A and B are shown apart, each in its own frame.
Chain A
Amino acid sequence: MLSQQQFSALSTMLKDETAVVLETGKEYLVESRLTCLMHEEGYATLSDLIDAVLLRANPSLNKKVLLALTTNETSFFRDLGAFELLKSKVIPEMLQSRASTRTLTLWSAACSAGQEPYSLAIALRESFPELASWKVKIMASDINPNMVARAARGVYSSLEVNRGLPIQLLLKHFTQQGDDYFVSSEIKSMISFFERNLIADWPPGPVDVLFMRNVLIYFDTDTKRRIFEKVKATLAPDGYLFLGTAETPYRIVEGFSKVMGASNVYQREGAGAQKKGEQPLKV
């Protein structure tokens, strides 16, 4: 077991180097994340490993420990239901409705380290090979320029590719150099990355599929309303808005209908779902 002093010193180091806060009470996290690394690196106890890390004598070891401790809530194909809906309903509809223009625009509006836009690109490449002859534009933005740069590099640790990425897709769409896994140039070429604050100017529409998940939760109601108005102005009339599980336009703004059977997917009121005789929930 590690001592309270070791936990405190490790927390300080983690905050200094990654800005991630390891709160008191998360000792179990240290134990579960570092125990196997302790064995792999040949340390007899967790305490010995932490002592070595705090001495900062082995940069490679410290990098592994910080990577192991950094809780990254982002995963590939986060919320499988959203990607299932994309494959079973949204894109098939778009293939029909946009057959004349053969253009499709998707936007991952809070892309963080890139897992979401890469998941979109991989899903399209895997499930809709016919889109290869279309003009498909996947935009990916984040407010944090460091995250945008990171996402554009498309390089991930084993901990990150462990999260939500089917192993067959890792083998197919990534290459490996040392401990890092690189997204293939083919998948990277499908995406354009840029820095964007969602309360500032938006890219020109129309956007057919907008993934804006787990970002509204950080804003107050007025800001959410302004953002939803921007969504209305940018989303194609029959486009789809994918929100995070704790996010909704309900009681904030009118004009959106929830797609039946989907956890948190919306369309502008009067969009395609109604034309097909479905009964979306008005919010």
Chain B
Amino acid sequence: MAKDTLIIDDCRFTTKVLSKVMEELGFQVHSARSAEEAIAFLETHEPPSLFLVDWVMPGMSGVEFVAWLREQATTAQAPVLMVTGERDMARIAEAIAIGANEYIMKPFSREAVEEKLQLLGISAGGN
């Protein structure tokens, strides 16, 4: 059974591009336009195999959402790949310290996503 991923991003174009990449890689894709929407999703669904999280969104930020994920028993260890326009290394270090496992800066290529998934040891069918 294919693994699933939850994309949390308020940019519908990023969601569209990321969804296409992840679907082509064999993932079942869910999406949320905000962290709050993602939290509501998690109230009715099992946690996905991978979270793809933007940083700057209306309401709760992506990093706040990652901190929230880490406080939940079911998602404390869940793989989180941040996909965001934030490129400042001090800020990136902040996201990693809070609990993001990997990080992609926008704009990004399909290859970058694939390579980050390899670094995380995640594929749609295995692991």
Residues of A within 8 A of B (CB): 32-40, 68, 71, 75, 80, 158-159, 161-164, 166-168, 170-171, 174-176, 179, 181
Contacts and interface: CB of A to CB of B under 8 A. Distances in A.
Interface residues of B, number: 28
A166 B104 contact: no
A162 B85 contact: no
Interface stretch (B9-17, B25-33, B64-72): B9-17
B124 interface: no
Contacts of A164: 112, 115, 119
Interface in B66-124: 85, 87-89, 92-93, 96, 100, 102-112, 115-116, 118-119
Contacts of B96: 167-168, 171
Interface of B: 11, 13-14, 17, 20, 85, 87-89, 92-93, 96, 100, 102-112, 115-116, 118-119
Contact of B106 (A36, A167, A176, A179): A36
10 contacts: A32-B17, A36-B85, A40-B106, A80-B118, A159-B109, A161-B105, A163-B109, A163-B115, A175-B89, A181-B89
A171 to B, nearest CB: 5
B119 A34 contact: no
Nearest to B11: A39
A171 B107 contact: no
Nearest to A168: B96
B88 A176 contact: yes
A170 B92 contact: yes
A34 B115 contact: no
Given A75-B115, A80-B118, A167 B107 contact: no
A162 B17 contact: no
A33 B109 contact: yes
Given A32-B110, A39-B13, A167 B102 contact: yes
Given A36-B17, A37-B106, A38-B13, 20 more contacts: A32-B17, A32-B20, A32-B110, A33-B107, A34-B107, A35-B13, A35-B14, A39-B11, A68-B107, A71-B109, A80-B118, A80-B119, A162-B109, A163-B109, A163-B111, A164-B112, A164-B115, A166-B102, A167-B102, A171-B92
